[in-house]
Structure 1
Amino acid sequence: MTTTDVAVVGAGFAGLVAARELGWLGRSALVLEARDRIGGRALTEHRWGSNLELGGTYVHWYQAHIWAELDRYQLTVKPGAAVAEIAYWIAGGRLHSGTFEELRDFAGDRVRDVMRSSVKYLPRPTSALGSERIRTVDDESVVQHLDRIGLTGAERDLLEGLIATDFSGLPAEGAMSQAFRWWAFSSGDWDVHFDVAGGYKIVEGTSELARRMRHDITAEVRLGAVVTRVEQDENGVSISTADGEIVRSQHAIVTVPLSVLGSIVFSPDLNPAKRAMIAEGQMSRGTKVWARLRGELRPFLAIAPPTEIFTMCQAEYSRPGETIVACFGPDGGRIDPEDRAGVESAIRLWLPDAEVISSFGHDWCADEYSRETWPMLRPGQLTKHFDGLRAPEGRVHMAGSIYSDGWGSFIDGALETGISAARRIDEQLR
């Protein structure tokens, strides 16, 4: 049996920052990570001469927690993709092309008005339930809301393609309140949203950020430790792993993804809100695919409605004789990232002459330690379950981007909740 002040389950960014914070506060901690690496759903792979992000990627100076970490560890940021010289979009049943400004003009005032209305629903985006108005649309799916306000077919195609990319899932399954939460951070501005949600990434890679954070952690980080049971009583918490180890602590922080949370036995059981969320599940199940295209193509951005395999594709790097692109789709079950011919066929929706040399990605939904991409809420979950989802369970606290009151689904949200959980525990211990 191992004893410690705090046991931290998971070494993603929420777990890493919590363990680091506890060490700075003078508390002992032990991190139990099921994988053979740290970083969780953030993973950088150096391939094709570039650092390619397979999971969490995008950062922005509007995100206070991640920006502080980048400054702390002297990491650099660059645009997430080459500045698009041309845009391609499928809308109204046909392919369009033009400049990014022409794409914006095609979207028209009505699409931009829908995005701007997010500020009315959520004037304080760092408080997910800080407005009564957000509750009035939480029961609506994106599709139901857009049906109600009556956009044209072409407007719907474009907006649903953008939302499907943001959601990593199908708009029919995601809450309209979730779209407003994302847009509110950019004040509903079309151009700013592209920057905030996907404009910038870490040059050295998210895995390097995790490595530098690990260097500041005094606690042991135990890899290959699959937690199966979390029990608590008035004296503390006992955590059991698949290999028979027992860790005894005064408090625990559990940071596993929602889709994995149900695989852990909690005693006493979790509250009704958490049990309901586990049963319903969050809605992301998309994919991110990297592909090498033959030829040095003009930097481009491509968008399609969620009926297609990919809803967005953009040129990220140019090399002699080839272009590296990143593609996003709302349903990972429709495409194998290693299927070169299938990826090529999907990209030819916008670029009929595209030739894919090779492609790859990581299937986070099939990954037993994630079972989802970035977490997104279904209709009704924000108002019905969010407060209970975030609430501590006695000595057991939750952290991760799904619990974030602000930048949910982003690395920033994971950092926010990890720091908060560590500080809350320290206060209780004192």
Structure 2
Amino acid sequence: MTESRCDVVILGAGLAGAAAACICAERGLSTVILEARDRAGGRGFTRHFAGTDDLLEFGGGWIAPWHDRIRHYAGLTGVTLRPTHPVTEHRVHGGGQVITSPALQVIKADALLYKSGKSFSGSLTQYLDRIGASPEDRDYVLAWWTISGNGDPDLILASEFLSSCSYGDGRPESMMSALAHTLVPGAGVLAERMIASSGATLHLDAEVTAVTDGTVTCADGQTFAARAVISCLPLNALASVSFSPELSAPKRRAIELGHGGQSLKLWLKVRGVRPGILASGGPGGLRWLFAEREAGDGATLIVGFALADGSLDPGDPQSVERSLARFFPEAELIAWDGHDWIGDPFARGTWVALPAEESWICDAEIWRPDGRVAFATSDFAPGAAGWFEGAILAGEAAAREIIL
């Protein structure tokens, strides 16, 4: 295969790679982006729902009020921001307002302490044991955990949950204050448009297998030589790439451990439910659901989350219907759809969830450049880790710090 040459090769066409390409363009650098999938977007994935005309985001969706950089690029590329529908009703599993329980009052206080700088060690399970949470408390917390910690509560750091509660007044449901907008058409389209505006050359179906002294090799044998490389691959996908010279010991150990993000996201199209209803709690299955908006045909689109603990089978109609009926007995399920991010070989997980015993793995400082290779992803971003804003911040920072 013919070797291609450029100033910078970027691995991955998600929002980190797109942001890195934009900064490289500002620096006047020739840039090639290599993407293993047949699309840009990374963990942003904009596509049609179940063969309909409804264009939905199957990856990350929400934009917080303080996410300035993603708003900047959205404005530049003609991507608009849709305000999240106000919550008109909150259905708690079992019918109770469990936020009044003593354990949940402790959570509220601890979240505010976290916001002021206090650290909390241990897993979520250990934390809930420590504060004497009841089974009902745990069900309620795990519902909100599906959109915060999103991994095995026995293994993932409790502060992943407390940090999300701290976005509001400390109550779990105050996390909604951070879920202010979604992107129209979606995060995947934003990445596509950013890359196009950067002028970078994008190669799809280009799975990277090795980075050797600035030369990048793809699975099909094609090689790209560059003065610098920016890896914008998720932490859990880095194990499939060999680096020579080898990466620093902390990076190698972090890659070996990986993070534990393993949530399931489904879109459900239903009739008989009005937009604006939030539902949370329950002992398994879909634990968190929000009737987000109307579909093009007048039905309602509900976004739902579950933990990958075996309590929901996304391929089983009865499993999905049972989860829906617990909160929305009036709903008629028309269709549902999702993407398997855990089984996706180029993601191998959802958004970052730090292991309680090895939370250092995503410290931005250990992901400083190794020689000619810089690193950027929302998993170990210098700010807003786990959000698309973090991906953009990481991509911009990596593109600025490479030395040619």
- For the criterion TM > 0.5, the same-fold answer is yes
Q: Could you tell me how far 1:230 is from its partner in structure 2?
A: 0.9
Cα distance in 1 between the residues matched to 2:60 and 2:275:
26
Aligned residue pair count: 399
Deviations 1:143-190 (A, max 9, x none): 111211223443332223212332222322210232233344446465
User: Which of 249, 266, 270 is 1:272 aligned to?
Assistant: 249
Cα distance in 2 between the residues matched to 1:366 and 1:333:
14
Relative to structure 1, the CA distance from residue 408 to residue 220 in structure 2 (aligned partners, 3 Å threshold; closer, same or farther) is same
Deviations 1:226-282 (A, max 9, x none): 1001112xxxx1111111111111211111111210011111222222222222221
Q: Could you tell me how far 1:292 is from its partner in structure 2?
A: 1.6
Kindly provide the amino acid, as one letter, of the partner of residue 293 in structure 2.
Y
1:308 matched to 2:284? The reply is: yes
Cα distance in 2 between the residues matched to 1:36 and 1:327:
26
Cα distance in 1 between the residues matched to 2:241 and 2:115:
34
Kindly provide the amino acid, as one letter, of the partner of residue 59 in structure 2.
G
Which residue does 1:56 correspond to in 2?
60
Does structure 1 retain, via aligned residues, the 8 Å contact 2:261–2:353? yes
Cα distance in 2 between the residues matched to 1:45 and 1:288:
14
Does structure 1 retain, via aligned residues, the 8 Å contact 2:44–2:186? no
Which residue does 2:222 correspond to in 1?
245
Does structure 2 retain, via aligned residues, the 8 Å contact 1:5–1:27? yes
Does structure 1 retain, via aligned residues, the 8 Å contact 2:157–2:356? yes
Secondary structure, in 3 states, of the residue corresponding to 2:44? coil
Q: Could you tell me how far 1:388 is from its partner in structure 2?
A: 5.6
Cα distance in 1 between the residues matched to 2:144 and 2:372:
40
Deviations 1:275-325 (A, max 9, x none): 2222222111111111122324464111124x4011101112235663221
Relative to structure 1, the CA distance from residue 72 to residue 109 in structure 2 (aligned partners, 3 Å threshold; closer, same or farther) is farther
Relative to structure 1, the CA distance from residue 113 to residue 50 in structure 2 (aligned partners, 3 Å threshold; closer, same or farther) is farther
Which structure 1 segments of 5+ residues have no match?
98-102, 124-130
Relative to structure 1, the CA distance from residue 288 to residue 107 in structure 2 (aligned partners, 3 Å threshold; closer, same or farther) is farther
Q: Could you tell me how far 1:337 is from its partner in structure 2?
A: 3.3
- The within-5 A match list for 1:393-412 is 393-412=370-389
Does structure 2 retain, via aligned residues, the 8 Å contact 1:341–1:356? no
Cα distance in 1 between the residues matched to 2:341 and 2:193:
24
User: Which of 84, 87, 90 is 2:90 aligned to?
Assistant: 87
Does structure 1 retain, via aligned residues, the 8 Å contact 2:141–2:172? no
Q: Could you tell me how far 1:336 is from its partner in structure 2?
A: 4.3
Relative to structure 1, the CA distance from residue 379 to residue 182 in structure 2 (aligned partners, 3 Å threshold; closer, same or farther) is same
Relative to structure 1, the CA distance from residue 385 to residue 8 in structure 2 (aligned partners, 3 Å threshold; closer, same or farther) is closer
1:68 matched to 2:49? The reply is: no
Kindly provide the amino acid, as one letter, of the partner of residue 295 in structure 1.
G
Does structure 1 retain, via aligned residues, the 8 Å contact 2:65–2:180? no
1:288 matched to 2:265? The reply is: yes
Which residue does 2:5 correspond to in 1?
3
Cα distance in 2 between the residues matched to 1:110 and 1:201:
32
Kindly provide the amino acid, as one letter, of the partner of residue 13 in structure 1.
L
Which residue does 2:293 correspond to in 1?
317
User: Which of 160, 163, 168 is 2:142 aligned to?
Assistant: 160
Cα distance in 2 between the residues matched to 1:279 and 1:224:
25
1:117 matched to 2:110? The reply is: yes
Q: CA RMSD in A?
A: 2.4
Secondary structure, in 3 states, of the residue corresponding to 1:317? strand
Relative to structure 1, the CA distance from residue 334 to residue 110 in structure 2 (aligned partners, 3 Å threshold; closer, same or farther) is closer
Cα distance in 2 between the residues matched to 1:275 and 1:193:
34
1:376 matched to 2:378? The reply is: no
Secondary structure, in 3 states, of the residue corresponding to 2:191? helix
Which residue does 2:193 correspond to in 1?
212
Secondary structure, in 3 states, of the residue corresponding to 2:259? coil
Cα distance in 1 between the residues matched to 2:42 and 2:280:
29
Which residue does 1:100 correspond to in 2?
none
User: Which of 382, 386, 393 is 2:363 aligned to?
Assistant: 386
Which residue does 1:418 correspond to in 2?
395
Kindly provide the amino acid, as one letter, of the partner of residue 390 in structure 2.
G
Secondary structure, in 3 states, of the residue corresponding to 1:174? coil
Does structure 2 retain, via aligned residues, the 8 Å contact 1:338–1:360? no
Cα distance in 2 between the residues matched to 1:384 and 1:214:
29
Kindly provide the amino acid, as one letter, of the partner of residue 8 in structure 1.
I
Which residue does 2:82 correspond to in 1?
78
Does structure 2 retain, via aligned residues, the 8 Å contact 1:274–1:385? no
Relative to structure 1, the CA distance from residue 109 to residue 50 in structure 2 (aligned partners, 3 Å threshold; closer, same or farther) is farther
Q: Could you tell me how far 1:3 is from its partner in structure 2?
A: 1.4
1:23 matched to 2:25? The reply is: yes
Which residue does 2:37 correspond to in 1?
35
Kindly provide the amino acid, as one letter, of the partner of residue 380 in structure 2.
Y
Which residue does 2:207 correspond to in 1?
226
Cα distance in 2 between the residues matched to 1:404 and 1:333:
30
